Structure formats: structure tokens, C-alpha cells
Amino acid sequence: MKWHEKIGHTVDRVSDALGTVSAALILAICGLIAVSVIMRYLFNSPYRHTEEVSSYLLVAVVFFGLAYTLKERGHVRVELVMLRLRPHIRRILARTTAAVGLVWAAVLLVGVTTLWQKYLVHGSESYGLLHVPLWIPVTPLVIGAMTLLIQLVVEVFRGGQPPE
């Protein structure tokens, strides 16, 4: 096994793990909302932080799922034109789009990391009832963007994933 295949296998496993975390967080959101509804209607005392916590968890779901979705070919693609091209051209376009995605993911990672650092240094807190330090809910954005970037590097080495 070549070095980039070993790295690719490891990155795939990390992407799978984050995909599993995303699924668990979706269940946690559902459970949180269900408990809040039960508390509201049975005890007339809803959990007041449901919306804020659910929002943070939903953002984590999206960002933790980015690399997994790429690995599983789940992102939206326009394949109508690609399927009419020769396989060689498809591979070139797939590698090119992976490289463009790599640049986009790098810009995303720089942006969310800068935001995370700003929130950490300034001690910014949310305006919600919990007054959560904002670096905490931004951390999944950094992890997700970093994993997506690394998964895209793996895709470029693999030659992209042209539609079949």
C-alpha cells in the first residue's frame, strides 16, 4: 500500500467517524425536542434552551458530515453533461472539480479558524440564554472544514470520482 493510500484510508475512517457523530447528533436533537415538548405539555415547564442548543448541534451535524458526504458521493452533482463525455475527460473534470473544491475548502478553513480564534481571544459569548462562549459552537466548523480539506486532498490523489 502506498503512503497516500494509507493516508486516504485513515482520512476515510475519520470521515466515517464524523458521519456517525452527525447521525448521533441528529438523534440528540430529536430527543431534545421531544423532551422539551413533553415537558411543555405535561409539566407546563419547557426546557428553555432547546432552540439554542439544537441550533448549535445542527451546525455541528452539517460540518461534521461534509467530508463523509464527499466520500460517499452525496454532494449534489450535475451529471447530465459529464455522462456524455469520454471517461478520460470525465476523470480530468473530476480531478479539476476536486482541486477547485480544495481551494474553496482552504478558504473556508481559514475563515472559520480566524473566527474561532477571534471568539477565543475576545471571550465572545452568545446572546442566547446560555451565554455560551462562541468558540465552543464554532469548533465543529473548524473540525469539519479541516476534515473536508483533507478528504479533498485524498480525492485529488485518487483522481476525483467521476460519475459512472
pLDDT in tens, 46-101: 888 999 999 999 999 999 999 999 888 777 666 777 778 888 888 888 888 888 99
pLDDT for 11 equals: 92
pLDDT for 16 equals: 95
Alpha-carbon distance values, 126 to 47, 131, 136, 137 (Å): 18, 5, 10, 10
pLDDT for 159 equals: 72
Residues 8, 98 contacting (CB under 8 angstroms): no
Estimate the crossing angle of helix 87-122 against helix 135-158, to 10 degrees: 160
What value does the mean pLDDT take over residues 134-151?
Answer: 96
What value does the mean pLDDT take over residues 15-31?
Answer: 97
How much is the pTM?
0.87
CA atoms of 90 and 163, how far apart (whole Å): 8
Residues 162, 79 contacting (CB under 8 angstroms): no
CA atoms of 147 and 141, how far apart (whole Å): 10
> Closest Cα partner for 22 from 64, 82, 83, 81?
64
Quote the cell numbers at residue 91: 476523470
